[in-house]
Structure 1
Amino acid sequence: MKLVALAFILNLSFTQAYAQEEDKIYSLADEQPTYPGGMSAFFKYIQSEMQYPDAAKTAGVEGRVFVEYVIEKDGSVSGAKILKSLNGDCDKEALRLISNSVKWTPGKIDGKEVRVKMALPLNFRLPR
């Protein structure tokens, strides 16, 4: 009976450790996640889809919002959050842009798809 209990505990420990490894978020991967068409295509997406908040325009708000997000194993974007705020409306727009991007090619370590944390500054500049 003790042997069965020990085997069960070891199996449970292995399963739990494996599950934790599966959920690990890496800061750097052997192959970093890539946006379809590359980063130039991603910046074109940002530029074409950005809707400068009216209140920020009126107030003359310009600057950068730093956003952190995770590219999941399936290429979807999750966990977008503001690292450095500019103003509430610009922050919301930055989160909207990142969260609504198409699926990326996920990052890989040793050929296996992994979750990877990314960070990006988004510039808000009024036309001159």
Structure 2
Amino acid sequence: MSRGKSICNVLKTIRKQVADANDIKYEPRECDYEGECRGTCPACEAEVKYISQQLDLRRQLGKAVAIVGISAGLSALTASASTPIGIDKNQTPQKPPKTAKQGKTNSTGCENEKVLRVGEVVVQEAIKPDTSEVFGIVEQMPVFRGGQTKLMEYLDKNIKYPKELEQNGVQGRVVVNFVVEKNGSISEVKVIKGLHPLLDKEAARVVSSMPKWMPGKQNGTTVRVKYTLPITFKLK
């Protein structure tokens, strides 16, 4: 395995350990990046961004965040650069036993080997994701049109604080889950951390009324993506 692929696999292991320690749903995907992936390809960066968002959400909810696996990962990275386990550096490499040739041999003397002529390009078709599946992390996450700033402006402009609660002074954060559909519309709105029934209802209303987002993409294909949004209620 190349040095770059070894680093990629170690980083995936670290991300998996961090996710498991913090009850984050995450399954590393097999790296199909062509070339030396050192954890900086679009897919790896998307996984890092997803886990970072989930850790930030835990902090916002007042939950402890556990960071594990770093020392083990560094050890594995060091090992991948040294002599492979079980091989004596002083041992003389032995040639593999010769076997009877089968099939046809081309002009290079290599059996059943495909030789590319200059200018030929081998194109592998990317695996298209199931567009009916709801993803938690994709290479290109969905975005509110105009970005985070416009999203905050939308929430500030459209949230209506219930008059019934003004005298009680109820303030805090409501966390809402929803799905950004392939056409950018919002569906499956659900409050996962409530504050007060009236505030929960208002948060769900505002999210359901949001204009269409720029949808997420996986391998160039538009897909459905689950998104988590904390909404803060403050008396002005």
State the TM bucket, normalised to the shorter chain. Answer: 0.7 to 0.9
Mapped pair 1:37 → 2:141: no
Which one scores higher on RCO, CA 8 angstroms, separation ≥ 6? 1
Higher helix share: 1
Distance 2:131 2:210 in 1: 24
> Which residue of 225, 229, 233 corresponds with 1:116?
225
Question: Residue 103 of structure 1 aligns with which residue?
Answer: 212
Q: Aligned partners of 2:158 and 2:139: how far apart in 1?
A: 30
After superposition, the CA RMSD in angstroms is 1.2
Aligned to 1:89: 198
| Partner SS state of residue 225, structure 2 | strand
TM-score by length of 1: 0.81
Where does residue 108 of structure 2 map in the other structure?
A: none
- Within a 5 Å distance, the mapping from 1:1-128 to structure 2 comes to 21-127=130-236
- Secondary structure class of the residue paired with 1:82: strand
Which string of whole-angstrom CA distances, capped at 9 and with x for unpartnered residues, describes residues 48-80 of structure 1? 111001112122110000000000000000000
Is 2:162–2:199's contact at 8 Å kept on the other side of the alignment?
Answer: yes
- Structure 2 CA distance for aligned equivalents of residues 100 and 112 of structure 1: 26
- Structure with the greater alpha carbon radius of gyration: 2
Query: What is the rounded CA distance, in whole Å, between the counterparts of 1:23 and 1:55 in structure 2?
Result: 41
Query: What's the TM-score, normalizing by structure 2?
Result: 0.45
List alignment gaps of at least 5 residues for structure 2: 1-129
Q: Deviations over 1:30-56 (max 9, x none)?
A: 000011111110110000111001112
Q: Which amino acid aligns with 1:94?
A: A
Please identify runs of 4+ aligned residues in structure 1 that moved more than 2 A: none
Name the structure where strand makes up a greater proportion of residues: 1
